[in-house]
Structures are given as C-alpha cells and as structure tokens.
C-alpha cells in the first residue's frame, strides 16, 4: 500500500468515526504506528534526517530547539512518503534546510529571503532533473514554504497588510488542504501552479523588502 492509499484509509476511518475523541485517538495511534514502521524500513533516511537536524542544532549552539524538534518529528513521521526510495535526495535535503532557515539565518535577515527563494528553485530543478520527485519532497516543499515565509513576515515585516496577505497566501492553503482532507476522508490535492503564482510574487516582494533594510550601525 502506497503512502497516499494508507493516508486515505486513515482519513476514511476517522470520518466514519465521526471525528469523535475516540476516533481521533485511534487515528493518531494508527498514524503513529505506520510512521514508526515506515521509518524502521528506511533506517538510512531516518539517520540522514536526524543527522541534518543535529547539525543545525550544533551550528546554532542549541538555539531554536523547539523549531528543529518539530521539523525533525514531521520529517521522520513522513518517511513513508519517500515511497520506493530508502534515502533522502539532494533536493529533499535542500528543502529541509530551507525549513530550518528561521533558526540558521537569524543574524542574516536581510539575505534570508533570497536564500529561501534560491533553495526553493534549486530543489525543484534538482528533483525533476534527477527524477527524484516524490510525495515526501512535494509536501515538505509546501510546508517549508508556509512555515518559513509566515515566520519571516510575522517576525520581521512591519506592514500589517502584508502580514495579513502572507497568512492568506501561505497558511490558508495548508489549512484548506488539511480541512478538505479531513472532511472528504481522503488526501486533497496540493495547490496547483496557478494557485502558487501569487505566493511566488509575495516571496519576491518580501525578500526585496528585507534586502532593502539597512543593517544596524555600529557605535
């Protein structure tokens, strides 16, 4: 059973339970068991995910533990979406690095948006060129974008209208896909390219605004 079929089965069971507390408990238990089994079948990928996040913790001297812990947990729990692969691709590594930029780039906020866009372009091209496109990379890419850009505007964008627009562009699609998946009892499709164009324009705008910020003057 592929990752999508397994997820659909879990969501269908949750829907049949009527989203009651007991149904949620069974859903979470089944999902956790499947995640553990899939991770155990891919020890190399699990090691790579753990090593990558461990390296980030070392580079930041332990700062951002919560962010990195959540990132590691999400990646480790979805290794089944690698399908037939047993390890991460270079594109997957770039995507996970982008998800860690809020921890890695706190001292370089002026350039962090440009770096995020560069890694976003690079991981997509690498995945297609090396025939490494898979559900894991696709959904990690969407979540990394939503997490990073929402963090950037909420922490460093003074314009409240742009902050509201950012939530609409990045967070709303994630919430919508999740809600539709729960309601229908099967995984909803990820946003299509035409839906992502406003997000790309917003990324460029936010990155350029941060680039124009003047660095603090030394006394």
Report the candidate in 178, 152, 180, 188 with the shortest Cα–Cα distance to residue 167. 152
pLDDT of residue 129: 94
User: For a pLDDT cut of 90, what percent of the chain falls above it?
Assistant: 44
pLDDT at 67 over 50: yes
**What's the mean pLDDT when you consider all of the chain?**
87
| H or E segment to which residue 148 belongs | helix 135-156
Report the candidate in 110, 105, 113, 98 with the shortest Cα–Cα distance to residue 205. 113
pTM to 2 decimals?
Answer: 0.85
The CA distance from 71 to 57, in Å, is 12
Q: How far is CA 184 from CA 25, 139, 140, 145, in A?
A: 19, 19, 22, 25
The CA distance from 196 to 136, in Å, is 18
Provide DSSP, 75-116: HHHTGGGGTT-SS--HHHHHHHHHHTHHHHTTT-HHHHHHHH
Confidence of residue 172 (pLDDT cuts 50, 70, 90): confident
Contact partners, residue 16, CB within 8 Å, separation at least 6: 23, 185
pLDDT at 191 over 80: no
pLDDT at 136 over 80: yes
pLDDT at 146 over 80: yes
pLDDT of residue 37: 95
Both structure tokens of 129: 């060129």
131 touches 73 (CB < 8 A) = no
Q: How many CB atoms lie within 10 A of CB 65?
A: 11
User: For a pLDDT cut of 70, what percent of the chain falls above it?
Assistant: 92
139 touches 78 (CB < 8 A) = yes
pLDDT of residue 214: 62
pLDDT of residue 108: 75
203 touches 116 (CB < 8 A) = yes
pLDDT at 195 over 60: no
Report the pLDDT averaged over residues 186-209. 75
């Amino acid at each position: 059973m592929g990752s999508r079929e397994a997820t659909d089965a879990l969501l269908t069971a949750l829907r049949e339970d009527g989203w009651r507390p007991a149904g949620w408990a069974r859903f979470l238990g089944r999902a956790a068991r499947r995640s553990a089994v899939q991770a155990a079948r891919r020890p190399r990928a699990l090691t790579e995910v753990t090593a990558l996040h461990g390296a980030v913790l070392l580079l930041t001297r332990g700062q951002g533990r919560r962010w990195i812990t959540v990132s590691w947990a999400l990646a480790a729990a979805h290794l089944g979406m690698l399908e037939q692969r047993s390890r991460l691709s270079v594109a997957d590594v770039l995507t996970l690095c982008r998800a860690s930029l809020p921890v890695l780039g706190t001292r370089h906020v002026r350039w962090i948006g440009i770096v995020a866009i560069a890694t976003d372009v690079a991981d997509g091209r690498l995945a297609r060129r090396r025939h490494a496109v898979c559900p894991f990379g696709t959904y990690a890419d969407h979540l990394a974008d939503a997490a990073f850009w929402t963090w950037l505007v909420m922490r460093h964008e003074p314009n409240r209208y742009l902050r509201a627009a950012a939530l609409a562009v990045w967070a709303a699609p994630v919430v919508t896909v999740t809600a539709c998946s729960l309601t229908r009892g099967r995984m909803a499709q990820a946003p299509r390219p035409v839906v992502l164009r406003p997000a790309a324009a917003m990324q460029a705008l936010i990155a350029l605004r941060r680039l124009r910020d003047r660095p603090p003057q030394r006394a």
